[in-house]
């Protein structure tokens, strides 16, 4: 067990309150979080490795398809590594994803956007990183969708990601975006991070990861909090 | 440190079919966790926990995800290493969304955790995610009957006395299964204490 993790880097993570992202106004804590020394509670994490079947859950082009049909949209493969801040690969880490379909509609009952559902697309899956920290998902490129934050507000295309890592302290939920999207500049959620940090949320198109005749490849690495260096190591 | 942490982004309103599919009635993928942490072989005192997440207008939040992580009745966390060395089938991790209950309650069926180290009172670790929360918050639930242990808990000792009560659950029922109420206030006079984990 690691003896403690580096703090969350608040020059990277968005602050709780964001003037332009309206839902934060009533939901962001107003008081500073209380400082603590990490204990076993923060340094341990549940083990999901035995629980899931990697092969069946990382292909969103198949896991919602009926009778061998295919979802509509541009097929993509999203792959990369989960590392800590020291660049150390994080094996056996659970990654869960969810996204809307190529028309910009989520299967979630609360999504009322007037765009069609795709009978062959569910939009959620998961996998466990391999011994080198590598993960891979197949999916279709999600569409942009409108939301009520401000006049003519549209979310840029994104995939939601949830990661555990080795400890309760390394838990992360984020969204990753696509390069060159003109909506990024207008999106208060993406813009809530500092300018330097924003590029860390954008996948790179990668011809090496692209599968010939099948799917466009995108690379995205996740960096989780790493073990704090002891004074000796510093 | 050569790499920068990946920035957090909000969970958004539509996580349920991916993260809590069974609770919300989606059958396409299986749950990795639910709001019942117990199984037949779980050792310990059965309890349940329920609560509501309130926003700054005191309105219940209907799209929050609550995750809990707690020690077993003997004070051990069910990490892969510990699981190998115990016959207690307690998993220690639970998830519940607030969009299904008519009052927007979350609830968990679990056991009372044991003490995991000297300066720690029995407690349950919480992470809260929701639309409008750009980075998740960490808090802890403590037990009202553990007055002495609570006085020596390293986390509670760092909290100003006037705010400590936001971390102590209320016992609602004294029947066979104890029910604890633990409401979470994002803002306001009773704003819950969140920890800089
Ligand atoms: Fe979304």
User: Touching check for B4 and chain A: CB below 8 Å?
Assistant: yes
The answer to whether residue A202 sits within a structural domain is yes
Q: What is the CATH number of the domain that holds A190?
A: 2.60.130.10
Please give the tally of structural domains in chain A: 1
Secondary structure (3-state) at B44: coil
- pTM for this one? 0.96
Tell me: the pLDDT tens digits for A78-89?
Answer: 999 999 999 999
The answer to whether residue A234 sits within a structural domain is no
pLDDT for the residue numbered B116: 87
Domain ranges in chain B are 14-106+113-185
The answer to whether residue A6 sits within a structural domain is no
* Chain A interface, best mutation among B134, B153, B193, by max A CB count within 10 A: B134
Distance CA A38, CA B7 (A): 21
The answer to whether residue A178 sits within a structural domain is yes
Secondary structure (3-state) at B157: helix
pLDDT for the residue numbered A96: 96
The answer to whether residue A22 sits within a structural domain is no
Q: Residue A33 is nearest to which of B5, B14, B194, comparing CB atoms?
A: B194
The answer to whether residue A24 sits within a structural domain is no
Tell me: the pLDDT tens digits for A55-70?
Answer: 568 999 999 999 989 9
Q: Is the pLDDT confidence value at B164 over 70?
A: yes
Residue B163 DSSP label: G
Q: Does domain B14-106+113-185 have CATH number 2.60.130.10?
A: yes
Q: Do residues A187 and A156 touch, judged by C-beta distance below 8 A?
A: yes
Quick one: what percent of chain B has pLDDT higher than 90? 84
Model confidence band, residue B1 (pLDDT cutoffs 50, 70, 90): low
Tell me: the pLDDT tens digits for A90-126?
Answer: 999 999 999 999 999 999 999 999 999 999 999 999 9
pLDDT for the residue numbered B115: 93
* Chain B interface, best mutation among A42, A47, A170, by max B CB count within 10 A: A47
CA distances from A103 to A18, A52, A145, B32, B78 (A): 28, 29, 8, 28, 41
User: Touching check for B195 and chain A: CB below 8 Å?
Assistant: yes
* Average per-residue pLDDT for chain A: 94
- For A164, the domain range is 56-224
Count of beta carbons in the 10 Å neighbourhood of residue A38: 19
């Amino acid at each position: 067990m690691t003896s403690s993790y580096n703090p969350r880097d608040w020059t990277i993570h968005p602050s709780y309150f964001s003037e332009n992202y309206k839902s934060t106004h009533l939901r962001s804590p107003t008081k500073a979080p209380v400082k603590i020394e990490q204990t076993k509670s923060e340094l341990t994490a549940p083990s999901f490795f035995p629980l899931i079947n990697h092969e069946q859950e990382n292909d969103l082009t198949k896991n919602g398809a009926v009778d061998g049909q295919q979802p509509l949209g541009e097929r993509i493969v999203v792959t990369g590594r989960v590392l800590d801040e020291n660049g150390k690969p994080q094996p056996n880490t659970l990654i869960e994803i969810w996204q809307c379909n190529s028309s910009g509609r989520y299967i979630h009952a609360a999504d009322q956007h007037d765009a069609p559902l795709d009978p062959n697309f569910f939009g959620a899956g998961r996998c466990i990183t391999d011994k080198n920290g590598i993960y891979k998902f197949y999916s279709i490129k999600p569409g942009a969708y409108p939301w009520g934050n401000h006049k003519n507000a549209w979310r840029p295309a994104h995939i939601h990601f949830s990661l555990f890592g080795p400890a309760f302290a390394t838990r992360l939920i984020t969204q990753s975006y696509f390069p060159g999207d003109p909506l990024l500049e207008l999106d208060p959620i993406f813009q809530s991070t500092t300018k330097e940090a924003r590029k860390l949320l954008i996948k790179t198109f990668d011809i090496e990861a692209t599968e010939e005749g099948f799917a466009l490849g995108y690379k995205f690495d996740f960096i989780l909090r790493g073990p704090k260096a002891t004074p000796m190591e510093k | 440190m050569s790499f920068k942490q990946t920035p957090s982004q909000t969970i958004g309103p539509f996580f349920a079919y991916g993260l809590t599919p069974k609770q919300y009635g989606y059958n396409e993928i299986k749950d990795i966790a639910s709001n019942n942490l117990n199984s037949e072989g779980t050792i310990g005192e059965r309890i349940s926990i329920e609560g509501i997440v309130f926003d700054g207008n005191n309105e219940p939040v209907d799209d929050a995800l609550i995750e809990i992580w707690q020690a077993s009745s003997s004070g051990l966390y069910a990490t892969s290493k510990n699981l190998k060395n115990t016959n207690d089938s307690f998993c220690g991790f639970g998830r519940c969304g607030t969009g299904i209950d008519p009052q927007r309650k979350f609830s968990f069926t679990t056991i009372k955790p044991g003490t995991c180290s000297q300066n720690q009172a029995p407690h349950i670790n919480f992470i809260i995610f929701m639309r409008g929360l750009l980075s998740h918050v960490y808090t802890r639930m403590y037990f009202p009957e553990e007055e002495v242990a609570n006085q020596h808990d390293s986390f509670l000792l760092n909290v100003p006395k006037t705010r400590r009560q936001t971390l102590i659950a209320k016992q609602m029922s004294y029947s066979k299964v104890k029910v604890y109420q633990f409401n979470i206030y994002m803002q306001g006079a009773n704003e819950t204490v969140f920890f800089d984990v």
